[in-house]
Amino acid sequence: MDQREGGLAQAESVSVNVQGGAAGDDASARGLRAHLSSMYGALTGHFVSVRIKVVALMTLVGAALVLMSAGFVIYNFNSNLEQAAYARSAGVSDAVAHAALDMAGPADIEPVIDAVAGAPGLKGAAVASLGGRILHSSDDNWAGKRLQLDAGLLDEARRLPAAEVPTQDQLEGAGHYPGDFARILRFSQSGEEAVLFVRVDTDKVASKLVVDAWNLMAWLVIAVVLAVLTMSLLIHRTIVAPIEALRDYAASGSRSVPYRGGLEDEIGVVARALSESIDARNAGEARLAKLAATDGLTGLGNRTYFKDRLAQEIAAGERGGRMVGVMILNLDNFKDVNDTIGHDAGDIVLQRTADILKGCARDGDTVARLGGDEFGIIMPGVKNADDALHLAGRLVRAVGAPFRLGAQELQQGACVGLTLFPQDGRDAEVLVKTADLALSRAKQEGAGACVLYRHELHLRAIERNTIERDLRSALAQNQLMLFYQPKVDIATGRVTGAEALIRWRHEERGFIPPATFIPVAERSGLVVPLTKWVLDEACRQNRVWQDDGLMKIGVAVNVSAIDLRRADLTDTIANTLIRHGLSPQFLELEVTESMVMEDVDVVIGTLRRLRSLGVGIGIDDFGTGYSSLAYLKRFPVKRLKIDRSFVQDVADGRDGDVIPKVIIDLAHALGVKVIAEGVETAEQFETLRALGCDEVQGYFVGRPMPAAEFEVFLRNSPAGGLHGTAIDMSKPAGARRGSKPDMTGSAA
């Protein structure tokens, strides 16, 4: 049995709290680990420097050691306080217990209790029955209160010579107090037992221990700081400093910053390997930079090189007040060379062009291949626009000189777009853009054209881009509509069909002429969804008219060359007809004469598939193109449409009817009907009737009308409805209906 077994014991509540707190400490530890883990993640995310990481780590280590020191000091303080309080209470309790051996009962112990209550460091003492009721106390406030004793431990203490009696709350109404102690008293004369309760003044005891605790804490903190500083200096010299030196060396990318890592340790080995890697990388980058700026086929600089050189020449021109010319040369119909002779021959043509440009360029000029069949030339120090145009013309003539390629003799044309610094722009990107705009205009003018950039070209490009953007929006928001212009049989005056003409009512600009937006649609690829929409809407509307009991007529839809070259055109038309339940005989496709001469074999195949489907085919603007009569026999054509340019002269009495007569006779000989468009006067109508034309279309018989208005027109035409009336051909259509001339533009 140790010293504690022979003396007093602190309250049972203390041991209970310690046991109950074990689970709480475990949860706190887990929470602390999670918090430290999140702090580590935040630190590693924000601190990337090794020095900062080491400082942060050592700071955390120091903080942890300081916390551990504080915990040790607190533990030591509590242990010393408990030992001091126990020592004070043990002396008092031993004296009282010894006196109780000579007394008869608890009543005799009262003078002893009063005597020991005044001992130094003691707050009070009391004697209580085994049931916990206080029999006598030195403190009047304790009178009538009870001690809460653990009955089980009380029985165990009774079997011992002198045992501690743990209490639960020590004194009823007073709460737990760390200086409370209890002990069994045995009265030998009577054999009675009682409980001695002693309260030590722990505040006085603690005041003497606080100074020692603070001194101990100060020495521990000093020791921790010194240890952390020593470790930090050691880590900095052995790890951080060499790594930082290696970092600076790697960041320099060359040997301009020598490595100063100290000894030939592992970091030194890494430094040597890094040095070799940097040397190899620099050499590789130099090779790649040269390759990246060079066109592999011609050996000229590429677009990147061209822009870099242009930026340098612009800077030099700005400093010296010199003009810089920028030229973009494009080979005409270069795709035909690849398609007919082969790509190897095309490569030879490109190499020849590169050699010619290098040979014709002046000293100081830069020649580059921008991509495909486009070449760029930078001309620093040109005197004026005429000087640049003269050089451009010389290059075009040199490129266009005939030459032999194998067994074939070729003549490669070219066109040029020109722009000048500083009047057309002060930036390389802007000058390349303006030169491209001039080149686009040169392509429109034809082979050999050299066009100098003008501001109007930029405005036209902006207009095209605006039209394209708004047209996409119009398709998405259903801003387009179809107008229908009637086709009338010239002999009977009956409506035999209609041409569907697309119209675009812009929200801000009103009606935009088809001649404005159709070319933009063809260039941007929007013509494909545009044609699909027109086909779908025309078939739907024709089906509605037939369901309403109107006469069954065919509706003609214009298609573009892009549509004809699409392999899915036949399937698209077939699906559209099926979807709307419209017979193919009531749909006609109109194609221009020049259109069918592009990729003749492909176009003929497409037209034949459509004709076998039952769809009618008409050639629009006949006589204005360059079609061969031999090809005309192969086309599965249902109608030829005489261009309005011939119809305007048909009644002027100056042999204006010769070409229409030839077209009509040719068509009838081939078994094809003829329709004349643009008929605006009675004289034109009568002349065409006399020439044997089958049908007419124009303002004289009917202007383009919205679907609702065309339905009224159709009901009033012969056999158009149940009460149809004949059309009086002696007056123009506007006068017959009292309508105003159409202001929505020409047919699309």
Indicate whether 269 belongs to any domain. no
Looking at the 3D structure of the chain, how many domains does it have?
Answer: 3
Report the pLDDT value the prediction gives residue 25, as an integer from 0 to 100.
Answer: 59
Provide the pLDDT confidence category of residue 708 given band limits of 50, 70 and 90. Answer: very high
Query: Do residues 412 and 505 share a domain?
Result: no
Query: Do residues 31 and 136 share a domain?
Result: yes
Choosing from 205, 234, 255, the residue where a domain stops is 205
Max avg pLDDT among 161-175, 609-623, 697-711: 697-711
Q: CA 557, 630, 697 angle in degrees (round to 5)? A: 30
DSSP result, 602-654: HHHHHHHHHHHHT-EEEEEEETSS---HHHHHHS--SEEEE-HHHHTTTTSSS
pLDDT over threshold 70, residue 3: no
Report the pLDDT value the prediction gives residue 52, as an integer from 0 to 100.
Answer: 82
Q: What is the DSSP letter of 363?
A: T
Q: Give the Cβ contact number of residue 674 at 10 Å.
A: 24
Lowest-pLDDT choice from 113-127, 636-650, 682-696: 113-127
Indicate whether 239 belongs to any domain. no
- Higher-confidence residue: 173 or 270? 270
Provide the pLDDT confidence category of residue 290 given band limits of 50, 70 and 90. Answer: confident
Of 481, 531, 539, 513, give the one whose Cα is nearest residue 709: 481
- Higher-confidence residue: 409 or 609? 609
Q: Cβ neighbours of residue 188 under 8 Å, at least 6 residues apart?
A: 100, 101, 102
Residue type, position 666, single letter = L
Token duo for residue 189: 């004369």
Query: Do residues 429 and 491 share a domain?
Result: no
Q: What is the DSSP letter of 236?
A: I
pLDDT over threshold 50, residue 744: no
Of 421, 460, 423, give the one whose Cα is nearest residue 438: 460
pLDDT digits (tens, 9 = 90+) for 410-468: 888 899 999 999 888 888 899 999 899 889 888 888 888 888 888 776 677 777 788 88
Provide the pLDDT confidence category of residue 502 given band limits of 50, 70 and 90. Answer: very high
SS3 call for 374: strand
Report the pLDDT value the prediction gives residue 168, as an integer from 0 to 100.
Answer: 37
Query: Do residues 626 and 530 share a domain?
Result: yes
Sign of the dihedral defined by the CA atoms of residues 347, 353, 359, 365, in that order: negative
**What is the rounded average pLDDT of the residues 396-414?**
86
Query: Do residues 394 and 483 share a domain?
Result: no
Provide the pLDDT confidence category of residue 7 given band limits of 50, 70 and 90. Answer: very low
Query: Do residues 538 and 448 share a domain?
Result: no
Distance CA 504, CA 517 (A): 9
Indicate whether 236 belongs to any domain. no
Question: What percent of the chain clears pLDDT 90, i.e. is strictly above it?
Answer: 24
pLDDT over threshold 50, residue 58: yes
CA atoms within 13 A on the CB side of 265: 10
Query: Do residues 426 and 524 share a domain?
Result: no
Report the pLDDT value the prediction gives residue 2, as an integer from 0 to 100.
Answer: 43
Q: What length is written for the chain?
A: 748
Indicate whether 284 belongs to any domain. no
Distance CA 474, CA 648 (A): 35
Q: What is the DSSP letter of 540?
A: H
Burial of 545 (0-12, 13-18, 19+ CB in 10 A): buried
Report the pLDDT value the prediction gives residue 223, as an integer from 0 to 100.
Answer: 92
CB of 198 within 8 A of CB of 170?
Answer: no
Provide the pLDDT confidence category of residue 39 given band limits of 50, 70 and 90. Answer: low
Report the pLDDT value the prediction gives residue 273, as an integer from 0 to 100.
Answer: 76
pLDDT over threshold 70, residue 14: no
Indicate whether 474 belongs to any domain. no
Distance CA 487, CA 495 (A): 6
Report the pLDDT value the prediction gives residue 368, as an integer from 0 to 100.
Answer: 93
CB of 370 within 8 A of CB of 309?
Answer: no
Domain harbouring 196, CATH code:
3.30.450
Report the pLDDT value the prediction gives residue 479, as an integer from 0 to 100.
Answer: 83
Domain harbouring 684, CATH code:
3.20.20.450
Query: Do residues 125 and 169 share a domain?
Result: yes
Choosing from 175, 205, 235, the residue where a domain stops is 205
pLDDT over threshold 90, residue 545: yes
Query: Do residues 309 and 380 share a domain?
Result: yes
Q: What is the DSSP letter of 140?
A: G
Report the pLDDT value the prediction gives residue 153, as an integer from 0 to 100.
Answer: 59
Query: Do residues 442 and 528 share a domain?
Result: no
**What is the rounded average pLDDT of the residues 102-128?**
81
Distance CA 357, CA 457 (A): 26
Burial readout 118-133 (b: 16 or more C-beta within 10 A, e: otherwise): ebebbbbbbbbbbebe
Q: Cβ neighbours of residue 332 under 8 Å, at least 6 residues apart?
A: 412, 413, 414, 415, 447
Indicate whether 675 belongs to any domain. yes
Report the pLDDT value the prediction gives residue 15, as an integer from 0 to 100.
Answer: 35
Helix (H) or strand (E) holding 481: strand 480-489
pLDDT digits (tens, 9 = 90+) for 62-83: 899 999 999 999 999 888 888 8
Q: Give the Cβ contact number of residue 273 at 10 Å.
A: 10
Provide the pLDDT confidence category of residue 743 given band limits of 50, 70 and 90. Answer: very low
Query: Do residues 440 and 485 share a domain?
Result: no
Lowest-pLDDT choice from 314-328, 500-514, 659-673, 726-740: 726-740
Q: Cβ neighbours of residue 467 under 8 Å, at least 6 residues apart?
A: 512, 516, 517, 520
Provide the pLDDT confidence category of residue 718 given band limits of 50, 70 and 90. Answer: low
Indicate whether 238 belongs to any domain. no
Query: Do residues 135 and 190 share a domain?
Result: yes
Of 158, 119, 123, 151, give the one whose Cα is nearest residue 137: 123
Choosing from 148, 176, 205, the residue where a domain stops is 205
State the residue range of the domain holding 94.
7-42+78-205
**What is the rounded average pLDDT of the residues 669-690?**
91
pLDDT digits (tens, 9 = 90+) for 333-363: 888 888 888 888 889 999 999 999 999 888 8
Domain harbouring 394, CATH code:
3.30.70.270
Mean pLDDT of the chain: 80
Indicate whether 291 belongs to any domain. no
